[in-house]
C-alpha cells in the first residue's frame, strides 16, 4: 500500500477525510525528521541531568515532585502506559482509530515532543500493515490529554494491550509480530508524549464533522422534495432576500435549492399563488436555518483543522530557546467547544426536517395530500408511525445536544481541576448523526411519496432522478407493509451521498475556504 505523505503543521481537511474514509496509510514528510531528532536529543540530555524536568525525570500529575533516577527512565515510561490503560466501553471503530493514530503522527511530527523518530516509524508501520489498536471509547475527560484512550494505542506499540490484525483481535505484541513489526522500548518522555494530547477527541470530532457535513448537504435534497410535495412557495428562495441579509450559508443554501427545484411542473402550477399564503417556517425559513448550521460547521472546521496540526502534549521542547517547558496544550477546550457546536447543528437540522415530515403527513396542513401519505387511509396507516419515529429521534438529539464543555469535574487529586469533557462530547456525535440520517431518510420517503401523489404534474428533472434512484431500492408504498427495512435503506442512501451525487453539483456546498469535504 502506497502511503500518503503528510507534512506536520500543514494538513488540510480533505486529506484528513480521505485518510478516514479510504483507510490510507500515512507517512510523515521526512523534512520533519531533523527537528524531531533534535528534540529527542534534548530530552535524552535532560533525563541524564540533575534539574527536574516534568515527565522526563519526575513522576506524573500529583507525583511530579518525585524525582526519578536516570536508570529508571524506561521503566517509568512503560509503567505510565500500562497504568493508564483504564479505558472501558465499546471499542472505537477502526477508521476513527486509524485517524487518531495519524493525528498523533502529526502532533509528534511538529518536533516539539522529544519522541524519537523510530516511534513515528512504528506508527506508520502499523497504519501500513493494518495493525489497529483496540481502544475503549470511554475514560477520557479531555484534560491532560486523552490519557486512557491514547494509552491503549501506545500499549500496542510496546507489545502490550490488544490489536486487530487481518480481521482478528489479538494481543498487541502478537499483532506486531504477525505484521513483521518490532515493539519499541520507550525512552525518556516517550510514553508521556504518546498519551498526552487531544488526538482521540479530535479524531471523533472530525468524524462527527465529516458526517454532519454530508447530512447538511442531504437536507438540501430532502427539503426540496418536501417543498415540492406540499406545493410550497419558492418565493422565499429568491436571491435578493438572502443577499439583503448577507450570511454565506443562507445565500448558498437558497441558491442550491433553486437549482435543485428548477424546472418543476409542480412549482410552475402554483407560481401565481405565491403571495396567497405564507408557508410554515419549516418551509419558508429553510435557507435561514440550514444556512446557519452550515456556517456553524464551517467555523468548527477551522478549529479542528488547526487542532489536527497542533503539538498538544506536555512538556514541549522549544529547540530555539533550548528549553523544555510545561504548559497546557493538552487541554481539549477548543475541541469540546467544536463538538458542542457540531451537536447543535445536527440537532437543528433534524428539528426542522422533522417538522417538514409532520407537515406532509398531516392532512390539515399538507395541501390535499392523503392522510399519512397512504392511498387508502384508515385501512392503512401509511407513514404515520415513521413520523413518530422521527419525533423520537429529534427529541433524543435535542437531549444529546446539551453542552458537554460546561460539565467540568476535578480529577487526579485536584491537580487537573478543570477539564474539557471533549471526549464524550465528540463521541456522542456518531449517535446524533445516525439519528439525523434516519430522520432525513424518512423525509426522503415522505417527499417522494408526496410528489408522486401530485401526478400528472412532474417535479424537477433533478428531483425526478432522485426519486427514480430511491425506487430502485424502496418500492412505492401502497398497502401497509413491514417498514423498518425501508427506513434503513433510505437512511443509507442519505449517509452514502448516492442521491446527492445525482444532483450533479447543484446541491453541493464547500466546507471551508478552498477545501471541499466529501
Among 20, 54, 213, 372, which one carries the catalytic annotation? 54
Q: At what angle do helices 461-471 and 199-229 cross, to 10 degrees?
A: 110
Phi-psi region of 179 (alpha: psi -120 to 50; beta: other; left: phi over 0): alpha
List the grid coordinates of 437.
440520517
Q: Residue 58, Cβ neighbours under 10 Å: how many? A: 15
Q: How distant is the alpha carbon of residue 487 from its chain centre?
A: 23
| Whole-number Å distance between alpha carbons of 462 and 503 | 6
Is residue 240 exposed (0-12), middle (13-18) or buried (19+ Cβ within 10 Å)?
Answer: exposed
- How close are the terminal C-alpha atoms of the chain, in Å? 22
Query: 476-515 burial, b if ≥16 CB within 10 A, otherwise e?
Result: ebeeeeebeebbebbbebbbebebbebbeebbbbebbeee
CA dist., res. 342 & res. 206, Å (int): 10
281 included as an active-site residue: no
Instruction: State how far the Cα of 260 lies from the Cα of 465, in Å rounded to an integer.
Output: 11
Is residue 483 within a helix (H) or strand (E), and if so which, with residue range? none
Question: d(Cα 119, Cα 186) in Å, to the nearest integer?
Answer: 8
Q: Decide: 346 and 289 in contact? Cβ < 8 Å.
A: no
Count H helices, E strands: the chain?
19, 9
Helix axes 94-108, 147-157, angle to 10 degrees: 90
What CA–CA distance (Å, rounded) separates 119 from 495? 36
Residues 499, 496: Cα–Cα separation, whole Å: 8
Name the DSSP letter for residue 315.
Answer: S
325 near 315, Cβ under 8 Å?
yes
Q: Percentage helix, strand, coil, to 5, in the chain?
A: 55, 10, 35
Q: CB within 8 A of 459, min separation 6: which ones?
A: 225, 228, 261, 264, 265, 266, 451, 467
Provide the annotated active-site residues.
54
Amino acid at each position: 500500500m502506497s502511503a500518503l505523505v503528510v507534512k506536520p503543521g500543514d494538513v488540510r481537511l480533505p486529506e484528513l477525510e480521505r485518510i478516514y474514509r479510504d483507510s490510507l496509510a500515512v507517512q510523515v514528510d521526512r523534512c520533519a525528521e531533523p527537528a524531531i531528532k533534535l528534540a529527542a536529543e534534548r530530552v535524552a540530555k535532560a533525563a541524564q541531568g540533575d534539574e527536574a524536568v516534568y515527565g522526563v525525570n519526575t513522576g506524573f500529575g500529583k507525583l511530579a515532585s518525585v524525582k526519578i533516577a536516570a536508570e529508571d527512565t524506561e521503566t517509568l515510561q512503560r509503567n505510565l502506559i500500562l497504568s493508564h490503560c483504564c479505558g472501558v466501553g465499546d471499542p472505537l471503530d477502526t477508521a476513527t482509530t486509524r485517524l487518531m493514530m495519524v493525528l498523533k503522527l502529526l502532533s509528534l511530527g511538529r518536533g516539539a515532543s522529544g519522541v524519537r523518530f523510530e516511534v513515528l516509524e512504528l506508527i506508520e508501520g502499523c497504519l501500513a500493515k493494518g495493525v489497529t489498536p483496540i481502544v475503549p471509547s470511554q475514560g477520557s475527560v479531555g484534560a491532560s490529554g486523552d490519557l486512557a484512550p491514547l494509552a491503549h494505542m501506545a500499549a500496542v506499540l510496546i507489545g502490550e494491550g490488544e490489536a486487530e490484525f487481518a480481521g482478528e483481535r489479538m494481543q498487541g505484541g502478537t499483532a506486531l509480530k504477525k505484521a513483521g513489526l518490532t515493539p519499541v522500548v520507550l525512552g525518556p518522555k516517550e510514553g508521556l508524549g504518546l498519551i498526552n494530547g487531544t488526538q482521540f477527541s479530535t479524531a471523533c470530532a472530525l468524524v462527527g464533522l465529516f458526517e454532519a457535513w454530508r447530512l447538511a448537504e442531504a437536507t438540501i435534497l430532502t427539503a426540496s422534495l418536501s417543498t415540492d410535495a406540499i406545493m410550497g412557495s419558492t418565493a422565499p428562495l429568491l436571491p435578493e432576500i438572502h443577499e439583503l441579509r448577507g450570511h454565506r450559508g443562507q445565500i448558498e443554501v437558497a441558491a442550491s435549492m433553486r437549482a435543485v427545484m428548477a424546472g418543476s411542473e409542480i412549482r410552475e402550477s402554483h407560481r401565481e399563488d405565491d403571495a396567497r399564503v405564507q408557508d410554515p417556517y419549516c418551509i419558508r425559513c429553510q435557507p435561514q436555518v440550514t444556512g446557519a448550521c452550515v456556517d456553524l460547521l464551517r467555523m468548527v472546521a477551522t478549529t479542528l483543522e488547526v487542532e489536527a496540526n497542533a503539538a498538544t502534549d506536555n512538556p514541549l521542547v522549544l529547540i530555539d530557546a533550548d528549553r523544555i517547558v510545561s504548559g497546557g496544550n493538552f487541554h481539549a477546550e477548543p475541541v469540546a467547544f467544536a463538538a458542542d457546536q457540531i451537536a447543535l447543528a445536527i440537532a437543528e437540522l433534524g428539528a426542522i426536517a422533522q417538522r417538514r415530515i409532520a407537515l406532509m403527513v398531516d392532512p390539515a396542513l399538507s395541501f390535499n395530500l392523503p392522510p399519512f401519505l397512504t392511498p387508502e387511509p384508515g385501512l392503512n396507516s401509511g407513514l404515520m408511525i415513521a413520523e413518530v419515529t422521527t419525533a423520537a429521534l429529534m427529541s433524543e438529539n435535542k437531549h444529546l445536544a446539551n453542552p458537554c464543555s460546561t460539565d467540568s469535574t476535578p480529577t487526579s487529586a485536584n491537580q487537573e481541576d478543570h477539564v474539557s469533557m471533549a471526549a464524550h462530547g465528540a463521541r456522542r456525535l456518531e449517535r446524533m448523526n445516525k439519528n439525523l440520517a434516519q430522520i432525513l431518510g424518512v423525509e426522503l420517503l415522505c417527499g417522494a411519496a408526496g410528489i408522486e401523489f401530485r401526478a400528472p404534474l412532474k417535479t424537477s428533472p433533478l428531483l425526478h432522478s432522485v426519486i427514480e434512484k430511491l425506487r430502485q431500492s424502496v418500492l412505492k408504498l401502497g398497502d401497509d407493509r413491514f417498514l423498518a427495512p425501508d427506513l434503513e435503506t433510505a437512511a443509507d442512501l442519505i449517509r452514502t451521498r448516492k442521491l446527492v451525487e445525482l444532483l450533479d453539483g447543484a446541491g453541493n456546498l464547500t466546507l471551508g475556504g478552498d477545501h471541499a469535504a466529501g
